[in-house]
Amino acid sequence: MMGDLNAYLCYLLTRAYFACVPTTRTLWSHVSCALDAAQEELPPDDIMIMILKACIEHPLSSAAPRDPKHEYCVLKWISKEWESRGWALPNSVIKHKALKEPQDCPELCYKTYIGWGGGKNQQGVTLLESCGGIVHHTTGLTTWGGAAVLADWVTNQPDIIANRRVLELGAGIGFTASVVLTTGNDDYLPPRSYIATDCHHHVLTLLQHNLELNLNPEPVMRKTLEAFQESTGKLLVTEEAQIGEMLPWKPISKKLRLSSKTSLISEDEEDNGTYDNMTAFGTTVEVLQVDWRDPPLLPNVDVIIAADVVYAHHLIPPLVELIKGILNGTSSRRKSDKISDHVKMQRLNSMVQKENIKHSSQESLEKCEELYSNNEEMESLKTVEHEIRPNSNSNNPNQDTESLLRNSDKDSTQVDQEERAAYIACTRRTLETVNLFLDEVTKQGLSHSLVYQSTLDTDTFLFLYNETHLPVKIFKLILAPENTCN
């Protein structure tokens, strides 16, 4: 039993240390209580060895550059805990370099959230974020509790995003995206695509970097992380935007390809360099700059998710308008894009079945697989369709393939609209702001329902370094019935 308590002490300490939770927060009082329990079994020197291995001397400490000020504060906290119990501090701690208060602290540091996502062989997600909370006229350079609540809820409701096209608004530095994309589920397919969006140019740079870091199947060298931390920290100062100003963003990585089952591709696209593409567990991942007040044309998606995007009153109407446009398809930039041959073949086979066309299922499947693997053009699809059609009992045997596809497109558009939904996590900082948001949702012809409300637990404690605990509610938004038709 005591071994379990010691393990719990180390677990709490490791999570608090690597998430950079200030020692003034409540979570550290739980660590202190665990210390009281540990002293019943172990002498102080053994406890010190145990807890140092759980934080400052943990292997993760050397994996990425951490916040030296936080390291100093944690070691000071440990020293005070020892003094309050009348324990003698070991010389190794008294002489530890971290007990010297740092004079120059970096703008950014790497935080690791133990127990959240992380993928194979990873203990959690690691993010480069602000060491000082809200800085440089944006809230987006740090992780907020709403992102954690949303990530936890989505990963526990995998059917919502399974094989769906997902777009995240206000993705910030990428906590939700990193957790969702690195949390596997054997019973559900991953999302088909995931588009992480934000507006601020520096936030997007960190978002891209953090997704690359967490989706990378191989550990990134510390030297590489240190170089990026330093160069990006300087850019925060030299390229600072004014409040409300949007500066154009372009991905730093031109192209990165890793030959692995979990492949990662970073490249500029044709849209003025505003995209960054990656692949995670078969999911296409994009980073996109989106200003709600003047959004670009967007891809068709099935699911919208967002956390802590409801805060500034003047941004609520354009936010809701954008959500509505995505749900009804009017914000799509890819309506006229070519449908992949594989999707065309699926739609054709669906229509063929509806027309009661009899054909060999084995032959059809073989041709479908051949068409998909060779990525042939529409002419190949017509050839397959022509070979299938002679066995048709359809009342309209002359109906051509493209006509079938056009009809199926109309059907799928209607189905897509009915199935699309947005899930918005709102932290209730003021009841007025949440009510303004819900009123605007109704005003613009959307329906809303409450699907989840967070509770205060150990996981939530990790994110209470910017503000005290506030309730987080997740609302589901859909098109009202009268707005689902084109």
pLDDT tens track for 18-74: 999 999 888 898 899 999 989 888 999 999 999 999 999 999 999 999 999 999 999
Question: Could you write out the DSSP letters of every residue in 196-207?
Answer: EEES-HHHHHHH
Over 70: is that where the pLDDT of 399 sits?
no
What is the CA 244 to chain-centroid distance, rounded?
24
pLDDT average, residue stretch 429-438:
90
C-alpha closest to that of 22 among 462, 469, 470? 462
Whether the per-residue pLDDT at 156 is higher than 90: the answer is yes
For 65, what's the count of Cα atoms within 13 Å in the CB-facing half-sphere? 19
Mean pLDDT value of segment 233-262: 60
User: Which has the higher per-residue pLDDT, 138 or 89?
Assistant: 89
At residue 278, the pLDDT reads 62
Mean pLDDT check: name the lowest of 95-104, 205-214, 234-243, 347-356: 347-356
pLDDT > 80? residue 111: yes
Q: What is the DSSP string of 347-396?
A: HHHHHHHHTT----HHHHHHHHHHHHHHT--HHHHHHHHHHHGGG---S-
Give me the mean pLDDT over the 207-220 stretch. 91
Contact in structure between 79 and 87 (CB atoms under 8 Å): no
In this predicted structure, the answer to whether residue 401 has a pLDDT above a threshold of 80 is no
Which of 277-294 are b and which e, b meaning 16 or more Cβ less than 10 Å from the residue's Cβ?
Answer: bbbbbebebbbbbbebee
239 Cα distance to chain centroid: 25
Dist. CA 107–CA 133, nearest whole Å = 10
pLDDT at residue 486 above 80?
Answer: no
- Give domain limits for the chain: 2-99, 108-335+416-483, 341-409
Rounded to two decimals, the pTM is 0.77
**What pLDDT was estimated at residue 101?**
86
Instruction: Name the residue with higher pLDDT: 259 or 94.
Output: 94
Alpha-carbon distance 177 to 280, whole Å? 11
Question: Which range, 161-170, 180-189, 258-267, has the best average confidence (pLDDT)?
Answer: 161-170
Backbone angles phi, psi at 146, to 5 degrees: -60, -35
The C-alpha atoms of residue 196 and residue 265 are separated, in whole angstroms, by 15
- Is the model's pLDDT at 431 over the cut of 90? no
Across residues 203-229, what is the average pLDDT?
92
Minimum mean pLDDT range among 195-204, 222-231, 393-402, 414-423: 393-402
Q: Is the pLDDT of residue 338 over 70?
A: no
461: Cβ contacts below 8 Å, ≥ 6 apart? 21, 25, 26, 27, 30
Q: Which residue has the tokens 């944006």?
A: 138
Out of 3.10.20.340, 3.40.50.150, 3.40.630.30, 1.10.287.1120, the CATH code matching 108-335+416-483 is 3.40.50.150
The stretch 401-418 carries a mean pLDDT of: 49
Pairing of strands 193-198, 255-257: unpaired
Helices (H) and strands (E) in the chain, counts: 17, 12
Token digits of residue 357: 């066309």
Asked if 289 and 197 touch (Cβ cutoff 8 Å), the reply is yes
Q: How confident is the model at residue 277 (pLDDT cuts 50, 70, 90)?
A: low
More confident residue, 290 or 343: 290
Distance between CA atoms of residues 289 and 102, nearest Å: 36
Query: Is the model more confident about 245 or about 314?
Result: 314
Going by pLDDT thresholds of 50, 70 and 90, the confidence category of residue 133 is: low
Q: Give the per-residue pLDDT at 15.
A: 92
- What the block records as the tokens of 300 is 């068709």
Q: Reduced to 3 states, what is the DSSP secondary structure of residue 402?
A: helix
Say yes or no to pLDDT of 411 above 70: no
pLDDT (mean) for 350-371: 46
Structure tokens at 96: 């530890």
Query: 84 vs 99, which has greater pLDDT?
Result: 84
The answer on pLDDT for 191 being more than 90 is yes
343 pLDDT band (50/70/90 cuts)? very low
* Percent of the chain residues past pLDDT 90, beyond the cut: 47
pLDDT, averaged across the chain: 78
**3 state SS for 64-130:** CCCCHHHHHHHHHHHHHHHHHCCCCCCHHHHCCHHHCCCCCCCCEEEEEEECCCCCCCCCEEEEEEE
Q: What local confidence, expressed as pLDDT, does residue 385 receive?
A: 37
